[in-house]
Structures are given as structure tokens and as C-alpha cells.
Amino acid sequence: MNGKRTILFLSRLLAGLALLTALGGCNNNPHPRPLHSKRVDGNPWVVSYLRLPDDPRSLDPQVSYDVFGNIVITQIYESLLQYSPFKTDPYELEPCLAEEMPRRIKNPDGTETYEIHLKRGLFFQDDPCFPGGRGREMTAADFVYTFQRIADPAVECPVLSNLQEFIAGLGPAYLEARKAGKFDYAKPTGALTVVDDHTFRLNLLKPYPQIQYWLAMPFTAPVPREAVEYYNGKNGRDFFKFHPVGCGPYRVAEWSRSRLIRLVRHERYTATRFPTGGWPQTDEARFRPIAGAALPFVDELQLAVIRESIPAWLLFRQGYLDRSGISKDVFNSVITAGQTLSRDLSARGVKLYSDVEPATFYTQFNMEDHVVGKNILLRQALSTAYNEEQANTLFGSGLWVKAEQLLPPGVIGHDPHFTNPYRTQNLAQAEALLKQAGYPKAIAPKTSQPLTLTLEVIANSAEERQMAEFDQGQIQQLGLRCKIEENTFARFQDKQITGHFQMNTGSGWNADYPDPENFFALFYSKNIPPQGSNNTRFSNPEFDRLFERMSTMDNSPERLNIIRQLNAILVEQCPVILGFHRVVFTLYQPWVRRVSSNAMLLEGGGMKYVSLDAALRAKKIREWNRTSTWPLWTLAGVIALVIGYALARARKSNL
């Protein structure tokens, strides 16, 4: 092998590669080309580029219970009801696949039935699983099938245990299927009674007004039997959970795992249209022209899977993401230091929106712990010492909403004027309470040492570590000692479920549906794990009695009264140190027309209403991504100089 020739060859190869690279892209657009450039009617094809912080685990609507799955599922599957985009205080439901709100019938034997009429002309998305590839019309039988799937053990529906308590027939069907090893789809469960193709009745075992919220969730979305049976993983076909087929505004055109999900509009979507009213007065000019328009406005949604926040922010700044901030936990830090946007971003026309989530986060006490569980004054003292405002400034950029009560805004029963006496920092009062609790100056009389408390945390990310350190500091303000126990997610869960903790932080509750029952259930004594999610193991007979009364009541002044009493018990007993209601931050590029500020919809349901100005986007991207070549030339020059100098100097010397 002749070294010289080899070197020459390799150098030419390298130069060729460099040239190829240069030709291959002088353009830093990371997105693949859209599927089409024009719509069928000749109008331009509109694409929106969004971020998914992680791959969804499953797109099966009866299974998926994670945030990322829901963002995608709500585009593909729609349910009988949906949340009204403009009503946020309180949240309201409106018909989606149903013609009108379900009619409630109280039966003489104590059970209830809801009569539901479906809209006509609703088609499933086109897919090879249907004969001829055309989606067929949706009928009541599809809902029967959906509820059968919920009871099927092989499907692993996570909310079966919630629903089987109220809906007839689900529980027995599940047990039968477990015994037989297989679910018999030919046998009806009794949960639904079909009247005709577009009418059916839902049978409940007892009154449960919250069932309406479940009818707005993807768990009850109609699923075509053909799709489930066709996509069984055999013959090179995908599994159904990776190949969803629904009747929602978008269908999945492509899913490259860990990279991209491409959603394309469903051509025959007619279930809902843009509302004809109900928006805030200030938006009248914006929305009047599109009132009653056909949905969706955007033809293609490209959801890029971007796990790290820095590259996502980079892409947003370059203009390659239309908005930043879908997931609640990742983007708390990708935001300005002040309450308003920085000059740089606002000069570009970027808009910041903050919406309060229907969720509450808190630090939990274990009511069965012999130190904190039996000592109400100690708990009140700790609660009064905690400075929520500072936590808000440090971790929430001042934009969180302090939680004075368990119920978040938007849920019926939330009292915006209520002030929690133990949630405003008052160190003097906290010390007094501590003294009354039996620990004057934080010294435990039995040991003459400061009382040591153990706080369980999950601290995998930098932010979680900093928050844990902050919480420790808060407790130590009173002179107490606080030991931080770090846990993996699994261990943290385990300790919560088995009750092996004294205090833990980072817990909270995100509303499944905006009804107070969903939150107060957390303190119902029958929900102590493993039966339910009462992790604090709070048990108060008066609370239980009131809870049982109000849980299935319709909303009325009497119910509000009971809610107020429940709240008072929780405030006084202090099983948790209430933290905050988290706020979802979203930054929108200047070319996006945002519609809904409904946090229950924010994840996904609002996307069908969004529209954007593609020409403005192209212009801004060009403006924000101007290239400069001088650094490359400087670098090349330096390297050439070094090599030349080296060769020149060494030429004379011996090897």
C-alpha cells in the first residue's frame, strides 16, 4: 500500500464529503417536508410544528393514562362530550359526538339511566382496516364495543375499577373473562342498551352525576372493531396501540418512534365546528369572522419528540416550533426571569400565556406517623412556617397560584376569597404553635435535641434537587432538623402506598375531571391504599359522613355548603401543607392564533381550533436564521497556519 497515494485518496474523499455536506443543506430546518403542498381545493396546505417531550407509550384510548399519550389521542379520538373551549370558571361540558347533552332518567329501583343520541354522518378515519380503505359511519354498536374493551382484562384499562363501581355489568364481565382466560365479545355486558343505530342507553348502578365527565374522556371514545382486530401485530401489521383509528379531527399518517408523529386532517370530520359565541368580548373581532367554520384549520400537525429542553428552546428561538410549553413540568424553566416576556422575545412578537391547571400540589403528612400524624399543632406550625411566595419566585417565576384550599380554580366549590390561616408565612405564630405542640424552640423535651423530621423526595433532575433543598431550608427555619431521603420514582411510590414515610413532597393531584368529589376522595377513609389514593391516610368520621353525602349530589347551594364544611375540616386538620396550583406556561410565536385558554383542553383538545399564518412564519424564520461564514474561515485559516508553520520549521531537522 503506497502511503502517499492513500493519503491523497483519503484527502480527496474528505473534501468530497465536505462538499456533499455543504450541498446537502445550507438550511437548518430540522423538519421533514409536509405531506402535500396544496389542499384538494387548491388552498395552501397548512402545517403546524409542535413538540412532544416524550414518546407516547400507547395510543389506545382505553389504555393511555399518560400526558403525552393524551395530547395525541385527543386529536384522533373524540368522545360523546367535550369541554367548552371558552368556559373555564367553572369548566363546562358540551355535546361533541352526541347530538345533545344526555338525558338523565332516575329509575324507581334506585339505578339511573342516561339516554344518548348520536349525531348522524360521523365517519371513522380512512384506513386499510376497513373494506375498500374507507372509514364507515359510527354507530351505537361502537360504544357497546368500547365499554366491552374497558372490561376486557387483556386491554388493561386503568380506570376499570373506578367505572365498574357505577356502571352496570363491567365488574362481572371482567371476572368472567379472567376465569375463562379470554373476553367473550359476543356476549353483551349490560352496561349499554342499544335502542337503534344512533341511540343508546347507559345503565348506572347508582346515581353518579360525574359520569358526564367520564363521557368526555378518551376512555369512553368509540373505537372501530375492525381496527382492533386488524392491527394485532401479525403479518407485519402494527399493534392497535401503535395504529389508532378514530373519528376525531386528525388521523395518524406517520409515527417514527422517538422521532416524529405526523397527524393529518380527517377529510370527513364533521362532529364539531368553531363555536358561534361564548368568547370573551376582547376576542370578538378575532373570532367573529370564523364563527361556525369547519374544523380543523390546520391540515398537518408534526409533533417532534424532543426530550431535552435546551434543543427545544433552540428550535423555538429559530422559529421551527410554533409554540413552546405543552408539557406542564418541563417548561417551568424555559421562561423569562420576570413576569413579562424579555425585551428580545417581545420585540419578535412572541406571546406568553399562563393558564391555571386544575391541579393542586402539596407536601403530605402521614397521619399514621406517631410524631406528625397525632400532633395537629405540629402540622399547623409547619404549615405556617412555609414561605410559598419565595418558592413561587424561585421555581415558578412568580406565576404560580398559591393554594389556599384543596380545590383549584375552575372546579365548582373553589372559593376565590378564602384565605387559609395556616398558609401565610408567620414565623412568630409558627413558633408559638410549635411550643404548644410540645416542642418549645424546636427542642424535643424527651431527648433535649432539636426534633428531626424526615422528608421523602424524588430528586432526579436539577430542579427537583433544588426544590428539595429549599423545602429542607423552610423546615429548618424553625430550628427543626430535616433529613432528606432521596428516592427513585418507584421507591417513592412504594413508600407512599405502604405508608413508610413521615412527610413527602412533590405529590399532588391533577383533576381527572373538574368535580370536587375527585379531590375530596383523596381524604376519604375508604380510599386508604391500596384501595385508593388517600396517601396521607387521613381518617375523620365527620369528613367521611359529609363526603358520602355530597359525592353524588347535583350542584346546588346545599352541596356548596357541604363543600365549605369539608374544606374547613381539611384546613384545620392540616393533613397536607398546601402548595400551589401549577400554571401552564405557553409561549406562542407571532404567527399562531391561539383560541382556547381552557386548561382541561390545553394538552390536546384545543388544537383543532388553532390556526396560523404560514407566510408570516416563513418570513420570520428567514429573518431569525441569517447565516454568517466568518467563523468557519477563521478556524480553517488558523489550522492551515499551524500546519504550515510546523512543516516549515521541521523541514530542516532530522526525523
- Within residues 520-559, the interface with other proteins by CB under 8 A covers 530-531, 533
Q: Any contact of residue 37 with other proteins (CB under 8 A)?
A: no
What number of CA atoms fall less than 13 Å from residue 244's CA on the CB side? 36
Q: Any contact of residue 470 with other proteins (CB under 8 A)?
A: yes
Interface with other proteins in residues 219-238 (CB under 8 A): none
DSSP assignment letter at 49:
E
Q: How far apart are CB 436 and other proteins at their closest, in Å?
A: 28
Do the Cβ atoms of 95 and 81 come closer than 8 Å? yes
Q: Any contact of residue 457 with other proteins (CB under 8 A)?
A: yes
Query: 561 is written with which cell numbers?
Result: 355548603
Q: Of these, 281, 340, 447, 448, which contacts other proteins (CB under 8 A)?
A: 340
Q: Of these, 309, 354, 425, 426, which contacts other proteins (CB under 8 A)?
A: 309
Contacts with 5 (C-beta within 8 Å, 6 or more apart), sequence order: none
Site string for other proteins, 142-161 (x = CB under 8 A): -----------xx-xxx-xx
Q: How far apart are CB 109 and other proteins at their closest, in Å?
A: 27
Residue nearer to other proteins on the CB measure, 23 or 428: 23
Q: Any contact of residue 29 with other proteins (CB under 8 A)?
A: yes
Residue nearer to other proteins on the CB measure, 294 or 497: 497
Q: Of these, 234, 370, 417, 626, which contacts other proteins (CB under 8 A)?
A: 626
Q: Of these, 227, 252, 315, 602, which contacts other proteins (CB under 8 A)?
A: 315
Residue nearer to other proteins on the CB measure, 131 or 338: 338
Q: Of these, 28, 232, 556, 561, which contacts other proteins (CB under 8 A)?
A: 28
Q: How far apart are CB 468 and other proteins at their closest, in Å?
A: 5
Do the Cβ atoms of 364 and 504 come closer than 8 Å? yes
Q: How far apart are CB 628 and other proteins at their closest, in Å?
A: 7
Length of the chain: 655
Q: How far apart are CB 651 and other proteins at their closest, in Å?
A: 8
Say how far apart CA 382 and CA 144 lie, in whole Å. Answer: 51
Q: Any contact of residue 375 with other proteins (CB under 8 A)?
A: no
Q: How far apart are CB 402 and other proteins at their closest, in Å?
A: 17
Q: Of these, 38, 57, 286, 374, which contacts other proteins (CB under 8 A)?
A: 57
Segment near other proteins (CB under 8 A); pick from 301-309, 357-365, 549-557, 569-577: 301-309
Do the Cβ atoms of 430 and 378 come closer than 8 Å? no
Q: Any contact of residue 466 with other proteins (CB under 8 A)?
A: yes
Residue nearer to other proteins on the CB measure, 188 or 450: 450
Q: How far apart are CB 295 and other proteins at their closest, in Å?
A: 29
Interface with other proteins in residues 1-20 (CB under 8 A): 1-4, 6-7, 10, 14, 17, 20
- DSSP-derived secondary structure for 261-329: EEEEE-TT--S-B--SS---GGGHHHHGGGTT-BS-S-SEEEEEE--SHHHHHHHHHHT-SSEE--STT
Say how far apart CA 580 and CA 400 lie, in whole Å. Answer: 6
Site of grid cell 421523602: 456
Segment near other proteins (CB under 8 A); pick from 265-273, 459-467, 543-551, 567-575: 459-467
633, burial (CB in 10 Å: exposed 0-12, middle 13-18, buried 19+): exposed
Among the listed residues 274, 271, 250, 216, the one whose alpha carbon sits nearest the alpha carbon of residue 595: 274
Say how far apart CA 155 and CA 146 lie, in whole Å. Answer: 11
Angle 438-440-441 from CA coordinates, rounded to 5°:
145
Residue 227 DSSP SS3: helix
Interface with other proteins in residues 491-510 (CB under 8 A): 491, 493-494, 496-497
Q: Any contact of residue 353 with other proteins (CB under 8 A)?
A: no
Interface with other proteins in residues 391-450 (CB under 8 A): 393-394, 398
Residue nearer to other proteins on the CB measure, 538 or 609: 538
Q: Of these, 196, 197, 329, 469, which contacts other proteins (CB under 8 A)?
A: 469
Do the Cβ atoms of 420 and 581 come closer than 8 Å? no
Name the phi and psi angles at 50, rounded to 5: -130, 170
Q: How far apart are CB 239 and other proteins at their closest, in Å?
A: 7
Do the Cβ atoms of 495 and 487 come closer than 8 Å? yes
Q: Any contact of residue 32 with other proteins (CB under 8 A)?
A: yes
Among the listed residues 266, 318, 355, the one whose alpha carbon sits nearest the alpha carbon of residue 83: 355
Residue 105 DSSP SS3: strand
Do the Cβ atoms of 488 and 458 come closer than 8 Å? yes
Interface with other proteins in residues 64-93 (CB under 8 A): 65-66
Q: Any contact of residue 25 with other proteins (CB under 8 A)?
A: yes
* Paired residues of 51 in beta bridges: 304
Q: Any contact of residue 282 with other proteins (CB under 8 A)?
A: no
Residue nearer to other proteins on the CB measure, 320 or 591: 320
Q: Of these, 94, 126, 176, 463, which contacts other proteins (CB under 8 A)?
A: 463
Q: Report how many residues bind other proteins under the rule CB under 8 A.
A: 114
Say how far apart CA 113 and CA 106 lie, in whole Å. Answer: 6
Query: 566 is written with which cell numbers?
Result: 369539608
CA distances from 567 to 56, 324, 402, 414 (A): 36, 36, 16, 10
Q: Any contact of residue 348 with other proteins (CB under 8 A)?
A: no
